[in-house]
Amino acid sequence: MTSVALLHRITDFANRPDPYPLYAELRKTPVVRDEAGPYLVSTYWEIRSLLHDPRISSDARNLTAEAAKATGQDQDPDLPPNFLRLDPPEHDRLRRLATAPFGPPDTPRRVYDMHGELTDVVAELIDGCRGKEQIDLVDDISYPFPVTVICRLLGVPREDEKLFHEWADTIAAGPDPVVTDEEREAKLESVRRARRELAGYLAGLIEERRRSPRDDMLSAMAAGHGADGRMSPVEAVTTSALLLVAGHETTVNLITNGMLTLLRNPDVLQRLRAEPDLAVPLVEELLRFEPPVQMLPQRTTLADIDIAGTIIPKGASVYLMLASGSRDPQRFTDADRFIPDRSDNQHLGFGHGLHACFGAPLARLEAQLALTALVRRLDAPRLAEDPPPYRPNAVLRGPRHLPIAIGGIKD
């Protein structure tokens, strides 16, 4: 059995700006047990096959006690898992209920119809930067934009953002691997507290919507849909908390990583300015090249699984290193190059299979609109700091700030 000690280097904050050389090292052994306990899967085809493998569970209750403890993924005694941490059939039922007001087949035009509204939100945020010589892309645009959108979509008052911002950040750091027992305990406690508080807040809102429904997803989830009935109050809370946090903590990084990459590749920035349609393949390439979700650390095995010559034993903790798989030279030519119109780009940025990103259509549209508007309207943008300061998160990775010097804002 080969074993490596790479996980602590990947989570080491010093390596946050550029974890990709570590992934390259990891790929030398496609499936390997890390000293810290989990099995790391780092190559494209192996990750993809496990994402479709019905012997892989997302439910922490299937971890061995030892694996659960080692990775800090004990069951939260206060709240049941959301559908990201559930297997079929429970997962399927909740995801269908959440999809009913969001996408096909019942609401196929939901995201499409938000086009105009999203364009306006971005335009207003950029207008707000007039008169500045330097903007912080994160605080000025890429954070407030998706937050405004997810709040409107769910029906959460935007002005309550200062309330739940802290909770969302704490929860988003939850999946990050920790090293010491003390860290683990402290984090578990703070994540649970944040989940409790967010749940309490959302429970109030959902109860309100149950009594007087509006045209938003909280109302729809409270009302239920068709043969699946409706979510229990606690299911509605865990599901809406998941969507709120996911809407908060991922697209912000996609937009920020996008602008950072464009500023590092001025020729591509110029091209996007001249050809706005390039935004579509460009965002796909971003999802491959600088994905907001770097790894999925919450899978486990229901049986011994033989993959790439290694047997992952039943109940082991398995980390699927998505960002590494998307840079696998066995799958992508010039994998370390950013090629905005790359063809055959089936990246792992949104995962794959059963748990493929729920919000993907919205995230794509948000990133396409934001980047197109930014390159069109920011005059002479350049990076004020490279690399920028990063958030601590290793899983949901992205800059905390992205200072950009600008000549002004164009109309």
Partner 1 sequence: MSVDGYLEAFRSQGRIVVVGASLAGLRAAEALRDEGFTGTLTMIGDEPHEPYDRPPLSKQVLLGKVPPDHTALPRRRLVDAEWRLGVAATGLDLAAKRVQLSDGDSVEYDRLLITTGVRARPWPRELEAELDGVFVLRTRDDATRLHHRLKAGPRGVLVIGAGFTGSEIASACRERGLSVTVAERGAAPLVGALGGVVGEVAAELQRSHGVDLRCGVQVTGLEGDAAGRVRTAHFSDGAAVEAEVVVVALGATRNTEWLADSGLGAGPRGIACDAGCRAFDVRGIVTDDVFVAGDVARSPHPLFGYQFLSLEHWGNAVAQAEIAAHNMVSASTDRRPHLWMPSFWSAQFGVNIKSVGVPPMADQIIVTQGSLAEHRFTAAYGHQGRIIAAVTFDQAKWLDFYESEIERAAPFPPEFPTVDRRPEGMQPVPAGFPDPSLPSHGPTVTLSGHSPTDRRITFTPRRA
Residues 250-279 that bind partner 1 (CB under 8 A): none
- Report if residue 302 touches partner 1, rule: CB under 8 A: yes
Q: How many angstroms separate the CA atoms of 308 and 44, rounded?
A: 12
- Report if residue 55 touches partner 1, rule: CB under 8 A: yes
- Report if residue 107 touches partner 1, rule: CB under 8 A: no
Shorter beta-carbon distance to partner 1: residue 180 or 343: 343
- Report if residue 337 touches partner 1, rule: CB under 8 A: no
Specify the stretch interacting with partner 1 by CB under 8 A; choose among 23-31, 54-62, 76-84, 121-129.
54-62
Shorter beta-carbon distance to partner 1: residue 288 or 355: 355
Q: How many CB atoms lie within 10 A of CB 14?
A: 6
When binding is defined by CB under 8 A, the residue of 21, 88, 104, 266 that contacts partner 1 is 88
When binding is defined by CB under 8 A, the residue of 16, 33, 48, 331 that contacts partner 1 is 48
Shorter beta-carbon distance to partner 1: residue 47 or 118: 47
Read off the tokens for 140: 């000025």
Q: How many angstroms separate the CA atoms of 82 and 102, rounded?
A: 17
When binding is defined by CB under 8 A, the residue of 4, 17, 25, 53 that contacts partner 1 is 53
When binding is defined by CB under 8 A, the residue of 104, 353, 387, 392 that contacts partner 1 is 353
Environment class of 80 (CB within 10 Å of its CB; exposed 0-12, middle 13-18, buried 19+): middle
Q: How many angstroms separate the CA atoms of 344 and 334, rounded?
A: 13
Read off the tokens for 49: 């096959």
Give the shortest CB-359-to-partner 1 separation in angstroms. Answer: 17
Residues 2-31 that bind partner 1 (CB under 8 A): none
Specify the stretch interacting with partner 1 by CB under 8 A; choose among 86-94, 203-211, 359-367, 383-391.
86-94
CA 401 to chain centre: 18
Q: How many angstroms separate the CA atoms of 6 and 180, rounded?
A: 16
Shorter beta-carbon distance to partner 1: residue 46 or 176: 46
Shorter beta-carbon distance to partner 1: residue 184 or 342: 342
* Residue 133 per-residue DSSP state: S
CB under 8 Å to 212, separation ≥6 — which residues?
A: none
Instruction: Find the largest Cα–Cα distance for the chain.
Output: 61
Task: Name the residue among 385, 103, 118 with its Cα closest to residue 259.
Answer: 385
- Report if residue 303 touches partner 1, rule: CB under 8 A: yes
- Report if residue 229 touches partner 1, rule: CB under 8 A: no
- Report if residue 56 touches partner 1, rule: CB under 8 A: yes
Read off the tokens for 59: 């439910």
With CB under 8 A as the rule, give the number of residues binding partner 1.
18
When binding is defined by CB under 8 A, the residue of 25, 74, 76, 92 that contacts partner 1 is 92
- Report if residue 106 touches partner 1, rule: CB under 8 A: no
∠238-357-11 over CA atoms, to 5°? Answer: 85
Q: How many angstroms separate the CA atoms of 60 and 297, rounded?
A: 11
Specify the stretch interacting with partner 1 by CB under 8 A; choose among 35-43, 52-60, 157-165, 317-325.
52-60
The length of the chain is: 411
* Alpha helix (H) residue ranges in 212-275: 217-223, 233-249, 251-264, 266-274
Shorter beta-carbon distance to partner 1: residue 92 or 197: 92
**Contacts with partner 1, residue ranges (CB under 8 A):** 48-49, 52-57, 59, 87-89, 92, 302-303, 353-354, 356
